């Protein structure tokens, strides 16, 4: 099982997809944004795990540490290095003795995502997620023409965006594509948490079958949808490669808007009828 999981989350950013447009389906290969975890270790201990597009890891870690207040100038670090071997998604930061004393309080904090003895690699993250999340067994299918209309009409649920042009939206629909709840927030993850939480508190979350997002689909959004038992996700932007792999294993269908019309269907295409 682990080998199958690891293969589905391969770093290859090319993915097979289906372009649906007015009832016609065309297979194609499409470029997806790579997404992998980066574990930042400070003084030999896990400090944070961030999801990112691979590349420029040392610069990423340095900028992160500056934003966190761990460093004020490059001289505050005596070393900044990538781990070798299997731990290629780990950056180690060693602070100067003087700086260690100045930020001792920061160094006592917990890590953002998870805490492990040797950092976090992509396969570790994948295995942990798959152990926690159960694949969905919901047999639902939806009308693809109506689904595209829900995505194209997302602005109708964004009064904040009308005023500030800056908010993300998450809208949940039932099996008949009738809206159940909509939320906006500066953060796309927050918008999803809010709309799921609203239906959860109202004891109506079981009615939610389709999630429509204003943003791209990252692995975190797939993870949240799986916890809420939502089998279909549509978004304006394409998913990341990691999101497609996770959704495939969790039996969640993913689609994004195509230009000028239509949808790109990435996995579990049988959920889209018509």
Read off the pLDDT of residues 153-211 as tens digits, 9 standing for 90 and up.
998 888 877 787 778 899 999 999 999 999 888 888 888 988 999 999 999 999 999 99
Tell me which of 69, 102, 131 is where a domain ends.
131
Classify residue 206 by burial, with Cβ atoms within 10 Å: 0-12, 13-18, 19+. Answer: exposed
> Are 21 and 143 members of one domain?
yes
Tell me which of 131, 148, 178 is where a domain ends.
131
What's the Cα-to-Cα distance from 37 to each of 48, 131, 175, 268, rounded to whole Å? 10, 17, 34, 25
Cα–Cα distance between 51 and 268 in angstroms, integer?
25
Q: What's 231's domain CATH number?
A: 3.40.140.10
Q: Six-digit token pair at 61?
A: 């870690």
> Are 217 and 267 members of one domain?
yes
- Please count the structural domains in the chain: 2
Q: Six-digit token pair at 136?
A: 């969905």
Q: What's 79's domain CATH number?
A: 3.10.20.10
Domain of residue 98 covers: 36-131
What's the Cα-to-Cα distance from 12 to each of 9, 73, 74, 240, 242, rounded to whole Å? 8, 36, 34, 11, 10
> Are 63 and 110 members of one domain?
yes
pLDDT category at 256 given cuts 50, 70, 90 is very high
> Are 156 and 228 members of one domain?
yes
> Are 22 and 152 members of one domain?
yes
> Are 85 and 156 members of one domain?
no
User: In the block, which residue shows the tokens 């290629």?
Assistant: 88
> Are 150 and 83 members of one domain?
no
Asked if 118 is an active-site residue, the reply is: yes
How high is the pLDDT of residue 236?
93
Q: What is the dihedral of CA 208, 197, 184, 268, to 10 degrees?
A: -40
> Are 122 and 97 members of one domain?
yes
Q: How far out from the chain centre does Cα 21 lie? A: 26
What's the Cα-to-Cα distance from 105 to each of 14, 98, 163, rounded to whole Å? 43, 14, 40
> Are 27 and 58 members of one domain?
no
> Are 102 and 146 members of one domain?
no
CB atoms within 10 A of CB 54: 15
Percent with pLDDT over 90 in the chain: 52
Average pLDDT (129-140) is 81
How high is the pLDDT of residue 125?
56
How high is the pLDDT of residue 38?
87
> Are 26 and 44 members of one domain?
no
> Are 9 and 141 members of one domain?
yes
Candidate list 65, 83, 118, 267, residue with the active-site label: 118
CB atoms within 10 A of CB 260: 6
The mean pLDDT value of the chain amounts to: 84
Instruction: Detail the DSSP E strand segments found in 204-271.
Output: 210-213, 232-235, 253-257, 263-267
């Amino acid at each position: 099982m682990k080998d199958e999981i690891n293969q589905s989350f391969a770093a290859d950013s090319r993915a097979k997809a289906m372009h649906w447009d007015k009832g016609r389906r065309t297979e194609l290969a499409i470029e997806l944004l790579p997404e992998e975890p980066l574990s930042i270790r400070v003084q030999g201990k896990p400090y944070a795990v961030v999801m990112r597009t691979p590349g420029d890891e040392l610069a990423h870690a340095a900028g992160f540490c500056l934003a966190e207040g761990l460093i004020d100038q490059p001289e505050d670090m005596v070393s900044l290095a990538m781990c070798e071997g299997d731990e290629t998604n780990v950056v180690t930061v060693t602070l100067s003795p003087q700086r260690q004393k100045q930020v001792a309080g920061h160094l006592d904090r917990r890590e953002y995502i998870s805490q492990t003895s040797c950092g976090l690699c992509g396969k570790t993250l994948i295995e942990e997620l798959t152990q926690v999340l159960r694949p969905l067994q919901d047999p639902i299918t939806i009308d693809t023409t109506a689904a595209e209309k829900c995505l194209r009409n997302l602005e109708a649920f964004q009064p904040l965006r009308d005023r500030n042009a800056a908010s993300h939206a998450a809208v949940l629909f039932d099996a008949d594509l009738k809206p159940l709840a909509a939320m906006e927030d500066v953060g796309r993850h927050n918008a999803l948490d809010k709309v799921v939480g609203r239906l959860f508190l109202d004891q109506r979350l079981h009615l939610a079958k389709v999630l429509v997002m204003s943003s791209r689909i990252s692995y975190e959004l797939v993870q949240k949808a799986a916890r809420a038992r939502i089998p279909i996700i549509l978004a304006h932007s394409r998913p990341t490669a990691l999101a497609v792999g996770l959704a495939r294993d969790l039996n969640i269908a993913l689609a994004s808007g195509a230009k000028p019309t239509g949808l790109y269907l990435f996995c579990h295409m049988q959920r889209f009828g018509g």
